[in-house]
């Protein structure tokens, strides 16, 4: 007997009231950007990447399980 699924709430940047892809910010005329801006953009990218991976794992549970098993096997056979 299958369980009834609960309705999913929207996730991601769009659900938080932000557009999925923000407009490009103008770079300074000299072409340099501060390392703080670069770190902020990188952190945002990594958050979205992690969110996408989690979503993929939820919608493809068999593939996610197989990937976990392969990773465990790699770790077991790894030699220090």
Residues 17-49 pLDDT 10s: 555 555 555 655 666 789 999 999 999 999 999
Q: What is the pTM of this model?
A: 0.47
In terms of Cα–Cα distance, which of 46, 50, 41, 40 is closest to 11? 50
pLDDT for the residue numbered 78: 80
Average pLDDT, the chain: 78
Question: Is 80 exceeded by the pLDDT of residue 11?
Answer: no
In terms of Cα–Cα distance, which of 10, 18, 71 is closest to 44? 18
Q: Is 57 exposed, middle or buried (0-12, 13-18, 19+ CB in 10 A)?
A: middle
């Amino acid at each position: 007997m299958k369980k009834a699924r609960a309705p999913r709430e929207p996730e991601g940047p769009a659900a938080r009231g932000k557009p999925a892809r923000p407009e490009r910010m103008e770079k300074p005329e000299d072409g340099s950007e501060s390392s703080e801006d670069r770190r902020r953009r990188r952190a945002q990218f990594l958050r979205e990447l992690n969110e996408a991976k989690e979503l993929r794992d939820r919608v493809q549970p068999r593939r996610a399980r197989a990937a976990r098993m392969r990773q465990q096997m790699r770790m077991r056979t790894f030699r220090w």
